[in-house]
Chain A
């Protein structure tokens, strides 16, 4: 019986192989349909503003105060991710591969928990993309040597920056830039302290970089 199965298998493979070869010359060409990557909101420095005095809005503008509340909740939702990210960043600053791997693992879990459904539909798609991409990088960080961790951290930083541009954040953060990383193309990262501590080079070039902007 098994032998029959195997010979059928081999026969099938042969058929597939023949048809695959015969199709090899069928070229398919098409124009690139890649969408142009949309511009991300970079400036969220003001998202927290205007939340202080909403007492006079309470009655005549329920809609607005509701959306404000959810803005607040949204920034809470991203705070766990930002916390894990900062832990990861600190591990890379300390050249600590093990701690970075651990933080990467924690971050995967936080990203998994992130629920996009309470966001306006216009943002959900992009949030899903960000989360999916970030998760992949965090997974790699969990199981890679430190050079690779840093490569993934570069793209992960972009993801987190774009994430908080949508969700907002309660925390004061500094968006820093290291001009040397990536063959001098440069790389960004987020930090909770103003002093530059470079996660891409660690002790090799601890103070390389500058603050691009302060968030909150």
Chain B
């Protein structure tokens, strides 16, 4: 119990930034507004430099868990740094985005459990997949 109270005072690094770099996915690609909204709502929390933190992130050890999660997510794919990837890697990333969404691996179930608005409906899945496939073919 004491430990549980104690860890509440341990700090975590927060992934927050209001700076949108020139390399951002939305800046370098012409993304239709509806697609942009879906990607920002469902992906950007873990795959960009700015997380819209839930209230429970104030509670440890949840904050640590999320910190680790976001760090790993950004390592795999950071939409803010999109244009710094080579064409080859962009192509790889887009392919992975497609297969992860197709297989319902992303957005993570543990994430959408709380973030109900991040869930993708079948229609949303389809329009995102169609658009991402088109972008991939145009590379």
Contact = CB atoms under 8 A, between A and B. Distances in A.
B112 interface: no
How many of chain B's residues touch chain A, expressed as a range?
A: 20 to 34
Interface residues of A, dominant DSSP = helix
Interface in B38-92: 50, 53, 83, 86-92
A155 B95 contact: yes
Contacts of A155: 91-92, 95
A62 to B, nearest CB: 35
A90 B28 CA distance: 40
A187 to B, nearest CB: 11
B113 interface: no
B128 interface: no
Q: Which 4 residue pairs spanning A and B have beta carbons closest together? A: A129-B86, A37-B87, A20-B18, A2-B9
Interface of B: 9, 11, 14, 16-18, 20, 22, 24, 26-30, 50, 53, 83, 86-92, 95-96, 99, 139
Interface of A: 2-3, 5-6, 9, 13, 16, 19-20, 23, 26, 28-38, 129-130, 132-133, 136-137, 148, 151, 155, 159
